[in-house]
Structure 1
Amino acid sequence: MKPAVCLFTDSTAPSGVGEHILTLADELQESFTLSLVCPPSPSGSRLLERAHALGVRTAEIHVGRPDSEAELVAFLSDVRVELFHCHAGVMIEGYAGVRAARQAGVPAVVRTEHLAEPSAVFPTDELPDLLHSPYHHPDRRLSDAEVAELVTVLQREYLDVVELVDRVICVSEGVRDSFLEVGVEQAKLRVVRNGIRPSRGGVSAENARGRLHLPPERRIVLSVGRMVELKGHRFILGAVDKVVRSRPEAVFLWVGTGPLETELREGVRMMGLDEWVWFAGERSDVPDLMAAADVFLLASTVEGLPLVVLEAMAAARPVVATRVPGTSEVVIDDVTGRLVERGRLDGTGDTDALAAAILEPLEDRKLASAWGSAGRARVQREFSSERMARQTAEVYVELLR
């Protein structure tokens, strides 16, 4: 009989984490009996539907509600789960799930960290900006003393939860290093880099551009990600004017939504850049947009190991990105793209360097093609979903012996 494994996320917006879970489920279901639990939300429901189509048993449980841990405990007991695998998009996710798994007597608990631990990555003077956000303390900026106290409390709570976990999988070496810094035992940590499935093909670049009603002379700089501080849209906006002054045929296509969207739209309008920055919203045709793009741009302030960069490289797109944990393990500077220093959360930073990096592949098609070809070969060689699943299964087997 195949061991029973429950995949779990308590995120109500499981975008990249959700794709990772689905890929893992598809690869592992021949060796394990899989279930998936996530809370009710529009994106959560879509995740469950897609998992069900793969043959995975699913349950919609919101562990933030009263008595929800008991509901999860009952589900895990009923399914007789032998290994509980919690996926955390940010450090503070998944605590209730881990506790429920232990309460249900699940023999093995694994936790995957999909993002570097922020307090180990950001300088101290930037942490107040990180916490003064729609997710944490939107009404006021915390003092340095309050930030230090909060970071200490959050790290202590995290380490208490990790005491209940047998292994912590990190999606990149940078993520692992950040959690080592906050006190996780090295013996518990394993690095399993993200991987993606081979592209199944799609529409041609010409057809994709036609859907966007773009004339052939326009050059697309594509960014995909939620509009939150960590994704660096403010930093990109500071470089747009510099790019379009040199290359007015460029258009920045932003896919995604989020709490910063209103602010970003107003910034674009105030700067007179409506012609050059397009807000595409949520899209289900991102692979087609990759085919249409001339450059892929990701300006995050922190990452884990971004799937969207792997997807861009697999589509042979040159990548311009910030030098942050995870991303810098995928993009090789001047081989598969260009890396620049990240901006700050408020959008300040070396926007001249960012603009120059974007202009390189826009102005040199031969260079863009070389970067794209090298990127595709690198993903095929080192970032396959089969390799990711095999290494994850090795962690499972180690604990299930």
Structure 2
Amino acid sequence: MGEHMLALAAAYRPVADVSLLCRPTEGGRCLLDRAAGLGVRTTALPRPRDPAFGDTIVDFLARHPADVFHIHVGTGRENFDGARAARRARVPLVVQTLHQPWLLRHPAKRAALLRAITPVDRLIAVSDAQRRTYERAGVPTASLTTVPNGITARGRGPGRCAARAALGLDPDQLVVMTVGRLTEQKGQRYLVEATPELATRFPGLSVVVLGEGHLRDDLVRRAADLGVGDAVRLPGHRSDARLLIDAADVFVFPSRHEGMPLAVLEAMQAGLPVVATDVLGTAEVVADGETGTLTPPGDPRALAAAVAELLSDPQRRRRYGEAGCRRYLERFTAHRMATETLAVYDEALGGPRLPAAAART
């Protein structure tokens, strides 16, 4: 979500007055610092449940009037007061991007979603499949549009040898990698459970799980129980993860559900073949049999078979990686995402307002 916000801020900053407001958590502080480095005005927000949350936003908007107030959330029901604060400040347009699908079934939670989006003029989904989950939940179709995620090009990476050296990997061993928070959603345990079969077929294989989260100890124990503790490596969170993916032969993304995963886009932009689960959002990124392989979610055996097929076929890995990079350039650039998001602003405002006016992201 933070990378999405930064990509929009970077795109609009040369032609507009852009501000970024977020909570100063560990990740939030990094986001605020990076935005400030782009020349973006930044403000730290209190916790959403803090009574001062809405007033802080209103006060900020009184000092810095905005044409667009753009909110970024997971599902939308967790937006406690941002949209209402923007309405109190009389911002002409309130837009909200939803970054996760709606998979909740409890009527009370659905009601909370519908209440939360009442002050919002336009809702953006990051994939078509994700958008349909909100339509099924009762969100008015007319207020929803899809703008697929996009990412900026990272520039030249360190290359295979340097990335492997940074992770303590051998130059010639086979390496499988995944990147993401260590949570149930991201499904790293299925990759760990696929590792015994892969390690048997490919001696010396290393499975690198980059990221941090509450399931770290569980994953370490599971790898040890399966006898692959030496093959599975968990280096933790790395701020240079996007560069370190150069160490991989195959990028794996075993998630249980997604809006549209940025990590897969980053792997494709880096020219890596991808094995991912056939779930919401991800299936719109990976072209099965062209840029990678899609497998059923929660199926370690299918995951192992797909990864093994690529590990044993260097030419296919190269072909998929090249096709993935082309697909990124054609469909998933930050420029395309920013252009389509701006079109949402313009349509809702009744005509172009940038570059002359201000956009708040």
Query: What TM-score range do you get, normalising by the shorter chain?
Result: over 0.9
Partner residue of 2:18?
34
Partner residue of 2:196?
241
**TM-score normalised per structure 1:** 0.85
Partner Cα separation in structure 1 for residue 199 and residue 109 of structure 2: 43
SS of the aligned residue for 2:18 comes to: strand
**Which of 103, 107, 112 is residue 157 of structure 1 equivalent to?**
112
The question of whether the paired residues in 1 share the 8 Å contact of 2:178 and 2:210 is answered with: yes
Partner residue of 2:211?
256
Gaps of 5+ in 2: 351-361
Q: How far does residue 95 in structure 1 lie from its aligned partner after superposition?
A: 3.0
SS of the aligned residue for 2:219 comes to: helix
Q: How far does residue 18 in structure 1 lie from its aligned partner after superposition?
A: 0.3
SS of the aligned residue for 1:164 comes to: coil
Map 1:65-144; keep pairs closer than 5 Å.
65-119=50-104
Partner Cα separation in structure 1 for residue 82 and residue 8 of structure 2: 19
Higher relative contact order (CA 8 A, sep 6+): 2
Partner Cα separation in structure 1 for residue 55 and residue 65 of structure 2: 15
The runs of at least 4 aligned residues of structure 1 exceeding 4 Å deviation read none
The question of whether the paired residues in 2 share the 8 Å contact of 1:91 and 1:117 is answered with: no
SS of the aligned residue for 1:101 comes to: helix
> Does 2:255 match 1:271?
no
SS of the aligned residue for 2:51 comes to: coil
Partner residue of 1:202?
157
SS of the aligned residue for 2:139 comes to: coil
> Does 2:351 match 1:395?
no
> Does 2:136 match 1:181?
yes
Partner residue of 1:353?
302
SS of the aligned residue for 2:151 comes to: coil
The question of whether the paired residues in 1 share the 8 Å contact of 2:49 and 2:80 is answered with: no
The question of whether the paired residues in 2 share the 8 Å contact of 1:167 and 1:188 is answered with: yes
Gaps of 5+ in 1: 1-16, 120-147, 344-349
Partner residue of 2:251?
296
Total equivalences in the alignment: 349
Aligned residue identity for 1:50: R
SS of the aligned residue for 1:95 comes to: coil
Q: How far does residue 399 in structure 1 lie from its aligned partner after superposition?
A: 2.2
Partner Cα separation in structure 1 for residue 220 and residue 163 of structure 2: 24
Map 1:356-375; keep pairs closer than 5 Å.
356-375=305-324
> Kindly tell me: are residues 253 and 90 of structure 1, through their superposed partners in 2, closer, same or farther at Cα, counting changes over 3 Å?
farther
Aligned residue identity for 1:67: A
Partner Cα separation in structure 2 for residue 200 and residue 217 of structure 1: 25
Partner residue of 2:359?
none
- After superposition, the CA RMSD in angstroms is 1.3
**Which of 167, 176, 181 is residue 212 of structure 1 equivalent to?**
167
> Kindly tell me: are residues 236 and 192 of structure 1, through their superposed partners in 2, closer, same or farther at Cα, counting changes over 3 Å?
same
